[in-house]
């Protein structure tokens, strides 16, 4: 299991022990076959006794989280085999922005990685608004407070034996939650970490942190900046689970669910007030996607 990469070397976990590894042979020649955090790799047995273990190949990935290369030339893998995205938002301080939450959920959906939502800081305000916003989407919504020490074990149970990427707005309490779950981590808490992190996003790859109970968390602060860019506009509707009953029911097969006649998605949204903010997020992300140069251009 690859925990992370620093330049040309990898930190890998072999039978519970962390070792340094480098690519060898075919794995080294094939530039596209770069291993990333979360990859299961094949090792050269003969190198197990050496200082640097040889990686000879990468096992097929069950999922891959990708980020756009700066300047828009293709994508680059960030983390492999991610099982779930944990979207952390605060009930207050900073106040939740439903549209930002929806963007993060869309990024997870577009990468085919199931998300869960954690509403932290419930000691400051109620999570009812978030529950209402997501009532029809069907995502698990947990409530936590690191201050009041509530909901931590329920979140911890969700992380066991899985690889989870934490994402969410700065100040929501991601590092605080991880520290509450795994006190040995000693992650930096406070607004400063975001600023320091932002500048490094382009160069630092994701790092997997092993959890004592089994499982890994990924501490890339950049996931929220992976952005919605890689999504084909016509596939955005599939990133909103509550639209599913209406998909395929529109009058036009290529309906984008804006104002087209006979649009089943729009009818669904107009019939149910609970769906309207999510539909508004859909429209806003759609406009954004169509304003950006596409991958095939």
Ligand X SMILES: Nc1nc2c(ncn2[C@@H]2O[C@H](COP(=O)(O)OP(=O)(O)OP(=O)(O)O)[C@@H](O)[C@H]2O)c(=O)[nH]1
Segment lying near ligand X (by CB under 6 A), choices 24-32, 74-82, 166-174, 273-281: 166-174
Q: Tell whether residue 120 is a contact of ligand X (CB under 6 A).
A: yes
Q: Tell whether residue 171 is a contact of ligand X (CB under 6 A).
A: yes
Instruction: State in angstroms the smallest separation of the CB of 145 from ligand X.
Output: 4
Question: Distance between CA 228 and CA 221 in Å, rounded?
Answer: 16
Segment lying near ligand X (by CB under 6 A), choices 49-57, 184-192, 247-255, 280-288: 184-192
Segment lying near ligand X (by CB under 6 A), choices 19-27, 126-134, 165-173, 265-273: 165-173
Instruction: State in angstroms the smallest separation of the CB of 185 from ligand X.
Output: 11
Site size toward ligand X (CB under 6 A) is: 21
Please enumerate in sequence order all residues whose Cβ is within 8 A of that of 161, keeping only pairs 6 or more positions apart, or say none: 214, 215
Instruction: Using CB atoms within 10 Å of the CB of residue 149, give its burial: 0 to 12 exposed, 13 to 18 middle, 19+ buried.
Output: exposed
Q: Tell whether residue 11 is a contact of ligand X (CB under 6 A).
A: no
Q: Tell whether residue 120 is a contact of Mg ion (CB under 5 A).
A: no
Please enumerate in sequence order all residues whose Cβ is within 8 A of that of 242, keeping only pairs 6 or more positions apart, or say none: 136, 137, 138, 275, 278
Residue 217 or 268 with smaller CB distance to ligand X: 217
The torsion angle over the Cα atoms of residues 204, 161, 64 and 130, rounded to 10 degrees, is: -90
Residues 262-291 that bind Zn ion (CB under 5 A): 263, 265
Q: Are strands 52-58 and 9-14 parallel, antiparallel or unpaired?
A: unpaired
Among 56, 26, 30, 28, smallest CA distance to 41 is for 56
Binding ligand X (rule: CB under 6 A), the pick from 25, 72, 186, 190 is 190
Question: Distance between CA 117 and CA 109 in Å, rounded?
Answer: 13
Residue 100 backbone dihedrals phi, psi, to 5 degrees? -65, -40
Q: For residue 238, what is the enclosing H or E element? A: none
Q: Tell whether residue 224 is a contact of Mg ion (CB under 5 A).
A: no
Residues 186-205 that bind Mg ion (CB under 5 A): 193
Q: Tell whether residue 194 is a contact of ligand X (CB under 6 A).
A: yes
Residue 265's binding partner, choosing from Mg ion, Zn ion, ligand X, none, with beta-carbon cut-off 5 to 8 A by kind?
Zn ion
Q: For residue 130, what is the enclosing H or E element? A: helix 128-133
Residue 110's binding partner, choosing from Zn ion, Mg ion, ligand X, none, with beta-carbon cut-off 5 to 8 A by kind?
none
Pattern of binders to Mg ion over 144-163, x per CB under 5 A?
--------------------
Binding Mg ion (rule: CB under 5 A), the pick from 84, 144, 164, 175 is 175
Residue 21 or 177 with smaller CB distance to ligand X: 177
Chain center to CA of 261: 35
Query: Which residue in this structure is represented by tokens 């990935």?
Result: 61
């Amino acid at each position: 299991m690859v925990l992370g990469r620093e330049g040309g070397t990898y930190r890998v976990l072999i039978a519970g022990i962390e070792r340094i590894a480098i690519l060898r042979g075919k794995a080294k020649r094939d530039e596209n076959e770069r291993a990333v955090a979360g990859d299961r790799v094949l090792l050269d047995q003969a190198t197990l006794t050496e200082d640097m273990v040889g990686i000879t190949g990468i096992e097929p990935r069950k999922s891959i989280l990708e980020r756009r290369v700066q300047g828009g030339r293709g994508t680059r893998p960030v983390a492999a085999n991610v099982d779930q995205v944990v979207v952390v938002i605060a009930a207050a301080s900073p106040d939740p922005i439903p549209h930002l939450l929806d963007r993060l959920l869309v990024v997870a959906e577009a990468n085919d990685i199931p998300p869960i939502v954690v509403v932290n800081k419930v000691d400051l305000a109620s999570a009812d608004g978030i529950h209402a916003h997501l009532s029809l989407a069907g995502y698990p919504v947990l409530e936590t407070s690191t201050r009041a020490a509530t909901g931590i074990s329920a979140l911890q149970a969700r992380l066991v034996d899985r690889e989870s990427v934490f994402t969410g707005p700065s100040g929501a309490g991601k590092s605080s939650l991880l520290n509450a779950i795994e006190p040995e981590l000693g992650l930096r808490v406070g607004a400063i970490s975001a600023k320091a992190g932002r500048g490094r996003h382009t160069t630092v790859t994701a790092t997997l942190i092993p959890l004592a109970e089994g499982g890994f968390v990924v501490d890339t602060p950049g996931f929220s900046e992976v952005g919605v860019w890689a999504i084909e506009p016509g596939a955005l509707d599939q990133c909103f689970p509550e639209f599913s009953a209406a998909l395929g029911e529109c009058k036009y097969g290529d309906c984008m669910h804006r104002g087209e006649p006979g649009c089943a998605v729009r009818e669904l949204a107009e019939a149910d007030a609970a769906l309207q903010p999510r539909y508004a997020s859909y429209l806003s992300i759609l406009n954004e996607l169509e304003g950006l140069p596409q991958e095939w251009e």
